[in-house]
Chain A
Amino acid sequence: MTVERAPAGGEILRMEHITKRFGAVYANKDVNLDVRAGEVHTLLGENGAGKSTLMNVLFGLYQPTSGDIYVHGKKVKIESPAQAVKLGIGMVHQHFMLVEAMTVFENIILGDEHSRGIFIDRNARRKEIQELSEKYGLEADLDMPITELSVGAQQRVEILKALYHGCEILVLDEPTAALTDTEAEGLFEVMDKLKSEGKSIIFISHKMREVLKVSDRVTILRAGQSVETDSIGDVSGEVLANRMIGRELKPSHYEKVQSEKENVAILTGVSYHRSSKHNGLNDVSLRVRRGEIVGIAGVDGNGQSQLAEVLTGNISPEEGSVDLMGSKVVTYDPNGFILKNVAHIPEDRNKAGLIGNMSVEDNLVLKLTKDSRFSDGKGFRLKWKAVHDYALALQKKYDIRCSSVKEEARNLSGGNQQKVILARELEASPDLMVAVHPTRGLDIGAARFIHDSIIAERDRGCGVLLISADFDEILEISDRILVMFEGQIMGEFSGLHPDIQAISVAMAGK
C-alpha cells in the first residue's frame, strides 16, 4: 500500500470548516475535526447532531458544501468512497454494507485490488485474510453466507473488510447499538489491538459509559456544529453529556404510575419461530394493564418485532394465546385488531406506517374512510371537505409541520411523519397501543412531543406496550420494564426505581 505510516501521535486527518447543506437545512455547519495516529477519537452527539453526515462527507458519499479535508497534512478532495478507501479510510456503517447473497470471503474481496488477475485466486486471498484475522483477533468463517451470521459476527466481517482494503483510519458508526454487552466487550478488545498497531479509530456513539471507557479524545457535535475537542481525563462524563445536549441531564420528566386497572392484553406462552434467536418468540407471557406503559427493553433483533407483529395481528403465534380486552383472539389479522381498538405505531414508518405517495390528509383518515363523518353510505361517497377540515384540525393539534395537508407524506421530515401516524392512531382513542421505536431518528423536540403524547394517552386510560432499543427512552417513560433476549422475557423491573445494572445484565442474556 502507498499510504505512509504517520509518526505515532502525529496528525493523520484534519477536517476544517466542513459545512454540508441539504436544501435549506444545515446538517453540518463549520465543523472541525482532527484525528491523530493511533488514537480512538470519539464523535459524540445526539441523534441528528450531524455525526453520520460528517462521516459520509469523509467517506466521499456526500460532497461538502464547503470546507477542506487533509490526510497526512495533504489537502484532498474525496469524491467517492473508492477514493476514501485509497486514502486509507475505512468505514463500518450502522447498516452493514454486506451483500447477503454472498459468503464472508466474497464480501471481503469485493472490489479488491490485491491482484490484477482476471480470476479470483482463492488460496492467495484466503491466506491474506487469515493473516489479518489472526493479527487482530477477528474470527470469521470465510465460507459462511452472510445471512447466517449474528450481528456481532457481521460487524467483524466489516472490520476485516476495511482492514483488508488497507485502512489506516477506521470509522465505526454507532458500532455497539446492535450488540450485546459481551459482543461490545469483544469489539473494544479489537479496537485496542487496532490502536496498538497504529491505526486510528473514529468512534461514533452517544453512550456515555463506553465513550469514557474507550476514547482518547472526544469531539462533541451539537446541532450540526462541533462544540469542542477534549482529551479524556480532562473532562467528566457529566460535563460531556451536558455539552452534548446543551442542557442539564435530568432523571425522568414523567411521573411513573402503578396501574391496578384491568388487563387490556394478556399473552400466554406465545411462541413463534421458536428456534430463531433473532426473529422469533419463545414462550412469551406478559400483560398490559389500562393506564400503564410497559417498556420492552433489549438489543434490536431479539424478537421485539415479532412481539409487536403478534400484538397487532400481523402474524399469528404458533403456540400460546393472546387475550384482548378480556376475550381470546381467534384469528390474527390486522383489521380484526384495529376493530378491537388496538393502535399501532410501526417500526418502519415509511414502509408500514404511511402511504408515502398519498397526502397527509389521506394518511390521517386512512382507516376512517367508511366512517359517517367522512363519507355517505358507508364509503360510497367520500366527503373530501370534511376530510380536509379534520386534517387541518389535527395538523394544529399535533403540530404537524408541512406546507399543506395536501402535501405527500413522504416529503415530510421524520418527526412530522411520526406525528401524522401518532395523530391517526391516537384519535381512535385506543385501548391498547403498540409503539415500536416511536422516536427513532427524531430530533429532541419531536421525541419529547411524542413522549408527552404517549404519557397523556396512558393517563387517559390506554395501555401502552413500548418497544424500544433506546434504553434511555425505556427508562424515561416506562412504568414497568420487561427485558427481551433471544425471543424470551428475561425479567421484569420497576420503572420507578429501575435497577440499571440488573437490566443491562438481563439484556445481555444473563
Chain B
Amino acid sequence: MKKGKGIQVLVPVISIAASFLIGCIIIAALGANPLTALQYLYKGAFGNVRNLGTTFSRATPLIFTTLCACFAYRCGVFNLGGEGQFIMGAVAACFVAVATGIKGPAAMVLASLAGALAGGIWAGIAGLLKVYRAQNEMIITIMLNYVATLFMGIVYTNWLRDGSVPQTVAVPEETMLPSFFGMRATIAFPIAVICGIGIFYYLFYTSSGFQLRAVGLNSVASRVNGFNVNKYMLMSFLVSGAIAGLGGALELLGTQLRLINGFAVGYGFDGVAMALIANLHPIAGVVVALFFAALRVGSTTMQTATGVPTSVSDIIQALVIVFTVAGMAMVKLPGFQNRLIARAQRKGAKA
C-alpha cells in the first residue's frame, strides 16, 4: 500500500504548510513582515551550532513524552499522563541526585533508573485501574498529572527546598549529564533518539511488539487468538510511563538541574499531539518533536528581532494538530477513498 503511506506523510505536510500560512497571516496582522519573521524563526532554530544545540536540548523531553504516547496508543491505551509520569521521574531522579550523596556517573545511572521506575509506577496505577476496574484511563491519568505536579510542589517548597527560594537544590556538577560537540545538548538527546529507534524495532520487528499492536487495533480478536490482552495493556502503561519517567530524569540531570514551578508544564499533552501527528510512528515522532522544538527555540529569536510574540508559534503548533487529525480522518472517509480508487482506475485505464 504505497499510496496509503504517501498520504500518511502528505497529510501532516499539508497541515504544516496550512498552519504556517495562517501563522504568516497572523504575523502580518500584527504588523510584522511574515517572511522576515520566518527567517528569524529558522535562524533561531538552526542558524548556528549553538542554536542547533538548544533545539536538540528542547526537543529531548518532547521526544520522550512523544514516545510515551506512541507506545501506549499502539496498544490502544490512552495514556494522557505523560506529564505526571515525566514529573515523577524527575522527582525520583532529584532525590537520588540531591539527597543520597551519591555523585558522578553512578548517580547518573541510578537517578535515570529511579526516574524510569517512578514513571512506570505512576502510570501503573492507572494501568491497574484500567485493567482490573475497567476505568477510563484518560481521566485517571489526567488526574494523576495534577497530583504529580502538586507532589513536585511539595518537594521543591518543603522537602528539598533550596533556602528561601521555592526550588530544589541543584544537581551537583559531577552528576550533570555531559554534553557533546560543545553543544548545549547533553547525551540525553542521543539517548532519546536511541529510545525511538528501539521502540520502532520492538513494535515492528519482534513478536511481542506485533502482538501489542494487534491488541491495540482489536483487543477482542487478539484475545480470541490467544494473546494475553491484560498483560499487554498493563505492560504498555508501565513501559510508556517508564519512557516518560526516564525523560523526566534526564531533563533534570541534563537541562533543568532543579525542580521548580513550571517544570514540564504541557509536555504531556504536547507529546500526545506529536505522537498523533506522527501517526504513532516512533521515528516520525522523533522528527515531529524536533520540528516542534525548532519552532519553539526559533520563536524566541523571532520575538527579539521582530517583536512577534512567541505564542504565535504555539498557535502554529496547535493548528498543525487540529489540521492533521482532521485531515487524517478526512482521507479515511469512504467518499474520499472511493474518489481515490476511481482516480487510480482512471490512471490505470489511460496507461
Interface residues of A (CB under 8 A from B): 23-24, 312, 314, 333-335, 337-339, 344, 346, 351-359, 362, 366-367, 369-370, 375, 378-382, 404, 406-408
Contact indicator A312/B225 (Cβ below 8 Å): no
Contact indicator A335/B224 (Cβ below 8 Å): no
CA distance A337 to B208 in the complex (A): 20
Chain B 191-205: CB-based contact to A (< 8 A → 1; otherwise 0) = 000000000000011
Q: A314-B224, A367-B225, A407-B1 are in contact. Are A381 and B218 (CB under 8 A)?
A: no
Counting chain B CB atoms within 10 Å of each CB, which of A354, A355, A366, A382 scores highest? Answer: A355
Instruction: Please name the residue on chain A nearest to B205 by beta carbon.
Output: A382
Q: Which residues of B contact A344 (CB under 8 A)?
A: 224
CA distance A352 to B220 in the complex (A): 5
Interface pairs (18), CB distance under 8 Å: A23-B338, A24-B345, A314-B224, A334-B224, A339-B226, A351-B218, A352-B220, A353-B221, A354-B218, A354-B221, A355-B217, A358-B213, A359-B1, A362-B210, A369-B207, A369-B211, A375-B207, A379-B208
Q: Which residues of A contact B1 (CB under 8 A)?
A: 359, 404, 406-408
Interface residues of B (CB under 8 A from A): 1, 204-208, 210-211, 213-214, 217-218, 220-228, 338, 341, 345
Q: Which residues of B contact A407 (CB under 8 A)?
A: 1
Q: Which of B214, B217, B226, B338 makes the CB contact (< 8 A) with A338?
A: B226
Contact indicator B207/A335 (Cβ below 8 Å): no
Q: Which residues of A contact B221 (CB under 8 A)?
A: 346, 351-355
Other A-B pairs, 12, CB within 8 Å; known A314-B223, A362-B210: A23-B341, A334-B223, A334-B226, A337-B226, A351-B218, A351-B221, A352-B220, A366-B214, A378-B207, A381-B205, A382-B205, A407-B1
Q: Which of B206, B214, B223, B341 makes the CB contact (< 8 A) with A358?
A: B214
CA distance A335 to B228 in the complex (A): 8
Q: A335-B226, A406-B1 are in contact. Are A358 and B207 (CB under 8 A)?
A: no
What is the CB-to-nearest-CB distance from A280 to chain B, in angstroms, rounded to a whole number?
20
Q: Which residues of B contact A338 (CB under 8 A)?
A: 225-226
Q: Which residues of A contact B205 (CB under 8 A)?
A: 381-382
Contact indicator A370/B207 (Cβ below 8 Å): yes
Counting chain A CB atoms within 10 Å of each CB, which of B217, B227, B228 scores highest? Answer: B217
CA distance A383 to B86 in the complex (A): 35
What is the CB-to-nearest-CB distance from A299 to chain B, in angstroms, rounded to a whole number?
24
CA distance A334 to B226 in the complex (A): 5
Contact indicator B224/A381 (Cβ below 8 Å): no
CA distance A381 to B207 in the complex (A): 7
What is the CB-to-nearest-CB distance from B248 to chain A, in angstroms, rounded to a whole number?
29
What is the CB-to-nearest-CB distance from B78 to chain A, in angstroms, rounded to a whole number?
17
Q: Which residues of A contact B341 (CB under 8 A)?
A: 23
CA distance A412 to B263 in the complex (A): 49
CA distance A380 to B207 in the complex (A): 6
Instruction: Please name the residue on chain A nearest to B215 by beta carbon.
Output: A355
What is the CB-to-nearest-CB distance from A298 to chain B, in angstroms, rounded to a whole number?
22
Q: Which residues of B contact A367 (CB under 8 A)?
A: 225-226
Q: Which residues of B contact A339 (CB under 8 A)?
A: 226
CA distance A362 to B227 in the complex (A): 14
CA distance A406 to B3 in the complex (A): 12
